Amino acid sequence: MVAIASGLETVIVRVVRATRPVYERAIKRKDSPDNRTAEYMALVYARVDLPLRRPEQLPTGQQREWSGEPLAGVQPFTMSWGHYDEYLATYMGGAKGAYLMRERLFDALPDELEAVLAGNFGAGQRSRTWFSSEAPELDELPWELVAYANGQRAQSGSSFVRGLPPEVPSPLVPVRDQLRLALLDPLEAAPAGLLAALDELGPQLDVSRISAPIREGMHAAASGGFELVHLVADGLVTASYDGVLHFPDTPEGELTAGETAGLLRGSRVRVIGLTSARSGDPALTTIGHRRVPSAYRAFTYFATSPMTLPNIVAPQGPLGDHEVHRFWRTFYEELCATHELDGSIARAQQSEPLAMSLFLRQLQLPTFRRVKADVKQMAEPGAAKVQLETSKELVAQLETLRSKHGVRTKSLDAFVDKERMRQTQLEAEVSEWVEGVDEE
């Protein structure tokens, strides 16, 4: 059985390298131009008609189906990195605008793949395009500038998200009053546009600004019942492409994706928003021959971590203060009204495409479910899901030990039976909060 989102046409784009790793084909001499190129394949899985040809043969090592969607086509494309790196560096450093960056991305894509990313299919039907890449250098590019360029997605409420569909649907989070957001700002460097956007939302969103050290703030958000967390941070990228949130001149310094997942496990937090601090001397990285702020790259790799994180909304490049203000006010306003991440992103991109990504970790459209105001005690399906996962892991380990070593005792058998009965109860509790998905 495969779980799919209800009421959505799903398109999955997986990008893999078509040749040896990037840069290996380079032939560099002091008197020759930088001609580094890399070839890629975009494998597109969908049931909707797309402007792609189905391959006669399945590419080596690839699947004919993904998350219940059949392979609809394979589109090769080439990136000329030697021509591209310097421009990418100046864009990340804030010296080049999003419009010119978008044109560079259009130039790199064949028309068929451009149409898929931009949502030119489905005759206006609502759709969700998942984008993921096995080549980390492609993850850093602001594909959202292409995805929302022509207004097709915004008009239909369709979305472009990062990641791959999860195998198991997440339970919705019950909310009784307005959503609660914890603004974690240990550096006290939140841009004016973000603060103005949150202030203008008024009673629609309950905002608490927390300037405590980052781990203390994350613990407060997890234990305090917040549904949303917004982090103001710098960032670092490790040699293994791990994104680390960086808080210079603070006692704790850095926060990894793994630690964040542990701090928020079982909490009500379902969305993390990231904003670049850009205060003082930002952490720097090298792209091409230029040193540029690394926060945007760090946010990308932090959000694509395999750890069990909430959904993450993060910039893929620099934004002006007016763009920060417009995006976050529209996004949070729509999220408070509809409880839908996809539609909130689409609306926030409606007037002008921005380099803002949604790293999605759920199948269904809604993230929250409204409950009656007179409910005295709300269920916590997220906590029940964690207990269920923990119990299943424990029983699986015990079964492995029993099978491997032949250990069977009455007390152990009784414990396993009790845990399985508990799992049945927890599954019933969680299933009550799963909606917006179909089983096929």
Residue whose pair of structure tokens reads 């399985």 in the numeric block: 420
pLDDT at 233 over 90: yes
Mean pLDDT value across residues 15-25: 61
Other beta carbons within 10 Å of 407? 10
Answer for the pair 269, 228: CB distance below 8 angstroms, yes or no.
yes
Other beta carbons within 10 Å of 411? 7
pLDDT category of residue 437 using cuts at 50, 70 and 90: confident
- 309: alpha, beta or left, given left = phi > 0 and alpha = psi -120 to 50? beta
Residue 123: predicted pLDDT = 63
pLDDT of 199-209, one tens digit each?
999 999 999 99
pLDDT of 31-70, one tens digit each?
444 567 888 999 999 998 888 888 777 888 889 999 999 9
pTM score, two decimals? 0.90
Q: Helix, strand or coil for residue 237?
A: strand
Give, in degrees to the nearest 5, the angle at Cα 411 between 409 and 415.
Answer: 115
pLDDT category of residue 191 using cuts at 50, 70 and 90: very high
Mean pLDDT value across residues 246-269: 90
Residue 407: predicted pLDDT = 67
Mean pLDDT value across residues 274-296: 73
14, β-bridge pairs: 43, 132
pLDDT of 358-374, one tens digit each?
999 999 999 999 887 76
Answer for the pair 77, 108: CB distance below 8 angstroms, yes or no.
yes
Rounded to a whole number, what is the distance in angstroms from the first to the last CA of the chain?
5
Residue 241: predicted pLDDT = 87
Residue 32: predicted pLDDT = 42
Residue 26: predicted pLDDT = 40
Give, in degrees to the nearest 5, the angle at Cα 128 between 126 and 131.
Answer: 155
Residue 19: predicted pLDDT = 61
Strand pairing class (243-246; 284-287): unpaired
118-127, 222-231, 337-346: range with lowest mean pLDDT: 118-127
Q: Helix, strand or coil for residue 130?
A: strand
Which of 5-9, 210-214, 217-221, 381-385 has the largest mean confidence? 217-221
Mean pLDDT value across residues 318-340: 94
Percent of the chain with pLDDT over 70: 90
Largest CA distance in the chain: 78
- 131: alpha, beta or left, given left = phi > 0 and alpha = psi -120 to 50? beta
Residue 400: predicted pLDDT = 83
DSSP-derived letter for residue 48 is S
Residues in the chain: 440
Other beta carbons within 10 Å of 372? 8
Selection from 88, 170, 151, 109 nearest residue 341 by Cα: 170
More confident residue, 34 or 331: 331
pLDDT at 434 over 80: yes
Write out the CATH class of domain 173-370: alpha beta
Answer for the pair 54, 174: CB distance below 8 angstroms, yes or no.
no
pLDDT category of residue 436 using cuts at 50, 70 and 90: confident
Percent of the chain with pLDDT over 90: 46
Q: Helix, strand or coil for residue 154?
A: helix
Domain ranges across the chain? 3-162, 173-370, 382-439
Strand pairing class (271-276; 284-287): unpaired
pLDDT of 61-101, one tens digit each?
889 999 999 999 999 998 888 777 777 777 777 767 788 88
Cβ burial, residue 61 (10 Å; 0-12/13-18/19+): exposed
